[in-house]
Amino acid sequence: MTNSLRLALLLVSVLFAFACGDREAARPRCPVCGMFADAEGFMVTERGGHRFDSPKCAFQYREGTPGAEFQFTEYYSGELRNEADLRFVTDSDVIGPMGRDRIPVAPEQVERFVQDHGGRVVERR
């Protein structure tokens, strides 16, 4: 392999590393599990400057910060809503990025969700 070809390959590798690194650095990671927690995720949860990839991670994080309020992505609307304005369903057939989870559902949609996906409503912690 010639030196100019080696140099060209090295340059392409470095440029590729910088290009990928910038995009990944801009994507928030869940502080509990490290997975990307993009805003488009259907289970995204937020609190302050943190974004979580699932309610499971948010509840685990909250164990260290009791009383903290979170915003969860409501299952049907896809909107971020305050935790107090939601009900959580467990043991349903809906699987999140971290496996079985508590699914945030608007109170007026809980019966529909349980009919569609099974499960039971659990108390907030």
On whether residue 23 sits in a domain, the answer given is no
Q: How do strand 80-82 and strand 103-105 relate by DSSP bridges?
A: unpaired
Structure-token pair, residue 61: 């994080």
Structure-token pair, residue 6: 């080696």
On whether residue 104 sits in a domain, the answer given is yes
More confident residue, 37 or 11: 37
Taking the model in full, what pTM does it have? 0.72
| pLDDT tens figures, 16-56 | 655 555 455 578 888 999 988 876 666 778 787 788 888 99
Structural domain containing residue 89: 28-122
On whether residue 108 sits in a domain, the answer given is yes
Domains contained in the chain, number: 1
